Structure 1
Amino acid sequence: MTLKLGRHEFADDATLMMAIVNRTPDSFYDRGATWAEDKAFERVAHVVGQGAEMVDIGGIKAAPGAEIDAAEEKARVVDFVARVRESFPGLVISVDTWRASVGAAVCEAGADVLNDAWGGADPELADVAAAYDAAIVCTHTGGVAPRTRPYRIEYDDVVAAAIADTVAYAERAVAAGVSPASAIIDPAHDFGKNTFHSLELTRRLGEMVATGWPVLVSLSNKDFVGETLDLPVGERLTGTLAATAVCALAGARIYRVHEVVETRQVVDMVNTIAGRRLPARAIRGLQ
């Protein structure tokens, strides 16, 4: 199935890099490096130059912290989305929000995708995506409230739970009017999960791919990587890329990343080994 992301379409064998752009002063990874609008815009230009097909703009960090209401979230992202849309018409713009009111405002400004990292906490977000012909990312969070950390969450089978919840969300979105080509599922590593849950989801990601819905993975510098290797945030790239390779072999389509070039090379290499992509050139032994 062709992947339809707002005004953009991609072939069913395309893999996409979704570069993270945080309009927050307190991101766990960049520590506010793109909090200033011009710095965030520089980040967009940089990742576009690196080949990212998408950006994911967020106005609130996922972790607990200062309360950010809908008005403040809009102030951080709406005008910025409009600026990016005007400057990069060929770029897919995603906004990381769970609020329907914010979703409507960013779609008015030119967003193509609503990345609901909190698994339908606001059920009206799917209606917004349908109204604006936008795509929606349907995540699995185990029912945790937005911006809360999981605590002793248990699953009989975390992969089965992730499939059931994300597929149900995608089906609800389609019933609301979202195009079937515009609903994406995401196991949401770390969200509502401990490290063992995230590792199992990575190992068995092929079961999510087998549902037929395009799968997005957000692995970059996550805690499950840090805990597995006992490494702080700034030293998790190698572990992130190892997890990326496993997900690429399973058939994930979209990769939400901090490091675009490194992730693209891993995904392309894995997909070429898997026979889904031709080498960029193959002259060894032929000339």
Structure 2
Amino acid sequence: MLQAVQDTCFPAAQTLRCPGGRVLDLRRPQVMGILNLTPDSFFEGNRIGSTDELLRRAEAMLQAGAAVLDLGGYSSRPGAEDISEDEEKRRLLPAVEAVRRAFPEAILSADTFRSGVASEAVAAGADILNDISGGELDPEMLPTAGRLGVPYILMHMRGTPQTMAQQTHYEGDIVLEMVRYFRDKLAILRAAGVTDVVLDPGFGFAKTPVQSHELLRRLPELRVLGLPILAGLSRKTLVYKPLGLSPDAALTGTIAVNALALLNGARLLRVHDVAEAVQTVQLVSTTYPQLSS
């Protein structure tokens, strides 16, 4: 099984080539800052109400050391409202344009699973596509990523944000199923012409807190695929539920699980709290310098 996976995976690519000559170097761990453009984000402290506020937060994240800003107009929290493509574009596209104008050198990621939104977001200035569905919710998404020629973040999820909480039963080994899922998706991406890919295990997406903690512990097993791994753990249920807290009180726990993710091979941390995550990267990399090689 492992040899078959290695035969179909991409060459190890730790540097993502983005439009405009921008480069995301994942030879050392980096931080992606979350900019939610939705009114119902699960973490109230990250909701953005105006363009001025968006630009202030973007500037603060970049100054704190964020290597990427991830902008999303569709809430993917469990049970979130399913909005139309037009509404998603209305939220996302002006924001991408505004951040690109204000910060021309920044690397921007568009968090969307819709190919139409993806195409217009890249035209507006996005560098990377961050697809929570791995192409499952729009059959044109993977071919579109190839046509656009931008890096693609491939996440593992079952169902939709509205149904994923009911799809947490795995017949076999959860990590082995994930490796097979990524193997098959990577073959499609390669055929579509996508060359730069980051893997996202999808913590909390169709996974219970117990399953997510198992996945965090076994993250090194995904390195057989030879690609950078993104860990999106920030203030999620697997952090605050075992502690009996709320998302607003989950910063300390987030720092702890981010450190574990780095030690287990994650190269990109997707977070609400950039300064704390950058400090975590710096300290973990100081203690374990091999993580930055």
User: TM-score normalised to the size of structure 1?
Assistant: 0.90
Distance in 2, matches of 1:168 and 1:35, equals 39
Query: Is 1:92 the counterpart of 2:104 in the alignment?
Result: no
Query: Is 1:210 the counterpart of 2:224 in the alignment?
Result: yes
Aligned with residue 3 of structure 1, among 11, 15, 18: 15
C-alpha displacement of 1:185:
0.6
CA contact (8 A) 2:37 2:92 kept: yes
Q: Secondary structure at the match of 1:19?
A: strand
Aligned with residue 254 of structure 1, among 261, 268, 281: 268
CA contact (8 A) 1:93 1:110 kept: yes
User: 2:96 is matched with which residue?
Assistant: 81
C-alpha displacement of 1:210:
3.3
User: TM-score normalised to the size of structure 2?
Assistant: 0.88
Distance in 2, matches of 1:30 and 1:257, equals 14
CA contact (8 A) 1:25 1:33 kept: yes
CA contact (8 A) 1:21 1:57 kept: yes
Task: Give per-residue Cα distances to partners, 1:11-59, cap 9 Å, x unaligned.
Answer: 4522221100011111110267313222122211111111111111010
Q: Which moved more, 1:263-272 or 1:67-76?
A: 263-272
CA contact (8 A) 1:25 1:31 kept: no
Q: Secondary structure at the match of 2:166?
A: coil
CA contact (8 A) 1:209 1:250 kept: no
The count of corresponding residues between Structure 1 and Structure 2 is 275
C-alpha displacement of 1:168:
2.3
User: 2:258 is matched with which residue?
Assistant: 244
C-alpha displacement of 1:235:
1.1
Q: Secondary structure at the match of 2:116?
A: helix
Distance in 1, matches of 2:190 and 2:146, equals 8
CA contact (8 A) 1:167 1:185 kept: no
User: 1:40 is matched with which residue?
Assistant: 54
Structure 1 residues 106 and 11: alpha-carbon distance in aligned structure 2, compared to 1, 3 A threshold: closer
Q: Secondary structure at the match of 1:17?
A: strand
Distance in 1, matches of 2:233 and 2:270, equals 7
User: 2:192 is matched with which residue?
Assistant: 176
Query: Is 1:70 the counterpart of 2:70 in the alignment?
Result: no
Q: RMSD of aligned C-alpha atoms? A: 1.8
User: 1:61 is matched with which residue?
Assistant: 75
Unaligned 5+ runs, structure 1: 279-287
Task: Give per-residue Cα distances to partners, 1:239-284, cap 9 Å, x unaligned.
Answer: 1111111110112111100111111111222222222268xxxxxx
Unaligned 5+ runs, structure 2: 1-12
Aligned with residue 155 of structure 2, among 139, 145, 162: 139
Task: Give per-residue Cα distances to partners, 1:136-193, cap 9 Å, x unaligned.
Answer: 111111x2124434126222211112222123223311210111xx111110100011
User: 1:285 is matched with which residue?
Assistant: none
Query: Is 1:189 the counterpart of 2:209 in the alignment?
Result: no
C-alpha displacement of 1:123:
2.5
CA contact (8 A) 1:22 1:58 kept: yes
Distance in 1, matches of 2:25 and 2:55, equals 28
Q: 1:131 is aligned with what amino acid?
A: R
User: 2:6 is matched with which residue?
Assistant: none
Identity over aligned residues, as a percent?
33
CA contact (8 A) 2:26 2:268 kept: no
Which stretches of structure 1, 4 residues or longer, exceed 6 Å deviation after superposition? none
Distance in 2, matches of 1:50 and 1:266, equals 12
Structure 1 residues 46 and 12: alpha-carbon distance in aligned structure 2, compared to 1, 3 A threshold: closer
CA contact (8 A) 2:97 2:124 kept: yes
Query: Which has more helix, going by share of residues?
Result: 2
C-alpha displacement of 1:124:
1.4
CA contact (8 A) 2:146 2:193 kept: yes
Q: Which moved more, 1:154-163 or 1:89-98?
A: 154-163
